[in-house]
Amino acid sequence: VNALQYDAEGNLRHLLTLEGMPRARIESLLDRAEALLPHAHGGTGLRSALAGLALCTLFFETSTRTRCSFQLAAQRLGMDVLNFDAGTASLKKGESELDTLNTLAAMGVRAFVVRHARDGAVAELAAGALPGTVLVNGGDGRSNHPTQGLLDMLALRRRLGRDFSVLRVGIVGDVRHSRVARSDIHALTALGCREVRLCGPASLLPGEGEFPGIGTSEDLDATLEGLDAVIMLRLQRERMEQGLVPSLEDYFRRYGLSRERLARLPGHACVLHPGPINRGVEIESTVADGPQSLILEQVACGLPVRMAVLQTLLATSRGPAG
Ligand code: ASP
């Protein structure tokens, strides 16, 4: 994947994963995003930045935040945007996903945001895409969701400061099926986070050895002790075999972030969740809507992060697609 992600000079050609991405590159994307914040929310000053270029959101799985914020981010940079609907397209007539992508590339679409249920599917499409085309992984299976990882880091950094070496961060819930957890772990590790703790029922924790050096626990109360930030995850029932969680009530009792549990965290501690949230399943409503919640701040950070990614990729890619 890294051979695909970078060109011969080491510039980003596609954004497929944060795994192995050097700290300096993550920080420069975050700095760029932070500088774009005023333009992301209401500014019109960058409408000519990528004018004349087209972006297509090619989603084979559902999305609210990723799709809409990429669309807005591209529009804020003056791009034309196509939203591809896999449900009604010629895929139904047997056209392959790669032929679909390259058909759109031949129309002049330079950038694609692709979401897919299968692990590795976005990298496979990147490998076969016409030269000059750039792909952003908008989430593949349980593997990667790099722009979510970046926007989570931006939200954390804006609330808790730039020095991750003092932070203890917990990731709670369905870690096993979560691409968000994986991209967050990649980013937190690269940024030198002091400690990352994973917590959930044994059936939803990652396989042994997947994250060496990162502690796992089935005990939420012990995990929460002394955390600066806790990232709550949705139960990814679309990726689960049956029966991994006995009942939602039981799950909330053991792994839900309630007001009482939050009260045991330090006052500065913040709560993140990538959305969509299931109120009363993994997080109590008053926590999701409370002052320690960064959930909507994460969404707000998504826009400048996606603008920064598009600007970076389209500045380094060579010429229009063949
Ligand atoms: N929206 C995120 C994703 O697509 C998280 C989730 O669905 O729970 O991975």
DSSP string over 240-298:
--TTSSS-HHHHHHHH-B-HHHHHTS-TT-EEE--S---BTTTB-HHHHTSTTB-HHHH
180 alpha carbon – ligand 1 mean position (Å): 7
Contact between residue 238 and residue 278 where contact means Cβ atoms under 8 Å apart: no
141 CB within 6 A, ligand 1: no
One-character DSSP codes across 83-137 = EEETTTSGGGGT--HHHHHHHHHHTTEEEEEEEESSTTHHHHHHHHSPTT-EEEE
pLDDT at 143 over 80: yes
Contact between residue 299 and residue 288 where contact means Cβ atoms under 8 Å apart: no
Interacting residues of 61 by C-beta distance below 8 A, sequence separation 6+: 115, 116, 117, 139
The 10s digit of each residue's pLDDT in 23-33 is: 999 999 999 99
**What pLDDT shows up at residue 93?**
80
Tell me the average pLDDT across 1-10: 93
Average pLDDT, the chain: 94
**What pLDDT shows up at residue 307?**
98
The best mutation among 171, 234, 299 to test binding of ligand 1, ranked by most ligand atoms within 8 Å of the C-beta, falls on 234
145 CB within 6 A, ligand 1: yes
The 10s digit of each residue's pLDDT in 248-265 is: 999 999 999 999 999 999
Tell me the average pLDDT across 278-296: 97
The 10s digit of each residue's pLDDT in 35-89 is: 999 889 887 889 999 999 999 999 999 999 999 999 999 999 999 999 998 877 7
180 CB within 6 A, ligand 1: yes
Helix or strand (DSSP H, E) at 155: helix 146-160
Q: What percent of the chain has pLDDT over 70?
A: 98
Partners of 81 in beta bridges? 55
d(CA 214, CA 211): 6
Tell me the average pLDDT across 186-203: 97
Between the alpha carbon of residue 297 and those of residues 14, 31, 116, 228, 301, the distances in Å are 26, 17, 26, 16, 6
pLDDT at 269 over 70: yes
**What pLDDT shows up at residue 316?**
56
The best mutation among 70, 136, 148 to test binding of ligand 1, ranked by most ligand atoms within 8 Å of the C-beta, falls on 148
pLDDT at 317 over 70: no
**What pLDDT shows up at residue 146?**
98
Helix or strand (DSSP H, E) at 229: strand 229-232
